[in-house]
Copies of this chain bind each other. A is one copy, B any other.
Amino acid sequence: MAKKNAFYAQSGGVTAVINASACGVLETAREHRGQIGKVLAGRNGIIGALREDLIDTGKESRAAIRGLLTTPSGAFGSCRHKLKSLEDNRAEYERLIEVFQAHNIGYFFYNGGGDSADTCLKVSRLSESMGYPIQAIHVPKTIDNDLAETDNCPGFGSVAKYVAISTREAAMDVASMCETSTKVFILEVMGRHAGWIAAAAGLAAEEDGDAPHIILFPEISFSRDRFIARVKRTVRKHGYCVIVASEGTQYADGTFLSEAGTRDAFGHAQLGGLAPALAEMVSTELGYKYHWAVADYLQRSARHIASQTDVDQAYALGKAAVEMALAGKNAVMPCIVRGSGKRYRWSVGEAPLEQVANREKKMPRNFITRDGFGITPEAREYLSPLVVGEAYPPYRNGLPQYTRLKNISVPRKLRRRFTVS
- Which residues of A52-82 have CB atoms within 8 Å of chain B's CB atoms? 71-81
Instruction: Please report which residues of chain A, range 326-370, place their CB below 8 angstroms from some CB of chain B when the two chains form the complex.
Output: none
Task: Evaluate contact between B399 and A179: CB separation under 8 angstroms.
Answer: no
Contacts of A10 in B (CB 8 A): 176
Give the interface residue-count category, chain A: 35 or more
**Interface set of A (CB-CB < 8 Å, partner B):** 10, 13-14, 44-45, 47, 71-81, 161, 164-166, 168-170, 172-177, 179-181, 185, 187, 203-204, 261-266, 268, 270-273, 275-276, 279-280, 283, 291-298, 300-305, 307, 309, 384-390, 392, 395, 397-400, 402
Contacts of A301 in B (CB 8 A): 169-170, 172-173
Is A304 a contact of B303 with CB atoms below 8 Å?
A: no
> Which residues of chain B are near A177, meaning CB under 8 Å?
13-14, 74, 77-80
User: Which secondary structure dominates where chain A touches chain B?
Assistant: mixed
Q: Are A79 and B298 in contact (CB under 8 A)?
A: no
Of B168, B292, B399, the contact of A296 (CB 8 Å cutoff) = B292
Q: How far is the CA of A305 from the CA of B390 in the complex (A)?
A: 12
With contacts A270-B270, A298-B170, A387-B398 known, is A73 near B176, CB below 8 A? Answer: yes
Beta-carbon nearest neighbor of A10 in chain B: B176
Taking a contact as CB atoms under 8 Å apart, the answer to whether A73 and B276 are in contact is no
Do residues B173 and A72 form an inter-chain contact, with CB atoms below 8 A? yes
Q: Give the Cβ gap from A314 to chain B, nearest Cβ, in Å.
A: 16
Kindly identify which residue among B279, B298, B305 contacts A293, using a CB–CB cutoff of 8 Å. Answer: B298
Q: Which of B72, B81, B179, B265 is A169 in contact with, Cβ under 8 Å?
A: B72
Contact A295 B297 (CB under 8 A): no
Please name 21 pairs of A and B residues whose Cβ atoms are closer than 8 Å in the assembled complex, sorted by A: A72-B169, A72-B172, A73-B173, A78-B176, A78-B177, A79-B181, A164-B398, A164-B399, A166-B298, A169-B302, A169-B303, A170-B296, A262-B265, A264-B270, A268-B280, A271-B283, A272-B272, A291-B297, A293-B296, A293-B297, A388-B398
* CB neighbours of A304 from chain B (8 A): 165, 169, 305
CA of A402 to CA of B165, assembled, Å = 11
A240 shortest CB reach to chain B, Å: 11
Partner of A73, one of B13, B175, B398: B175
Chain B residues positioned under 8 Å from A169 (CB to CB): 72-73, 297-298, 301-304, 400
Most buried by B among A10, A76, A390: A390
CB pair B179–A47 under 8 Å, yes or no, is: yes
Residues of the B chain whose Cβ atoms lie less than 8 Å from the Cβ of A283:
271
- Measured CB to CB, the nearest residue on chain B to A168 is B399
User: Could you say which residues of chain B place their CB within 8 Å of the CB of A295?
Assistant: 293, 298
Which residues does chain B contribute within 8 Å of A173, judged by CB atoms? 14, 72-73, 297, 300-301
The distance in angstroms between the C-alpha atoms of A8 and B393, with both chains bound, is: 38
Residues of B within 8 A of A388 (CB): 397-398
Given A169-B298, A301-B169: A203 and B399 interface contact (C-beta under 8 Å): yes
Bound-state Cα–Cα, A107 to B279, Å: 41
Residue of B nearest to A296 (CB): B293
Contact B204 A399 (CB under 8 A): yes
Q: Which chain B positions have C-beta within 8 A of A387?
A: 397-399
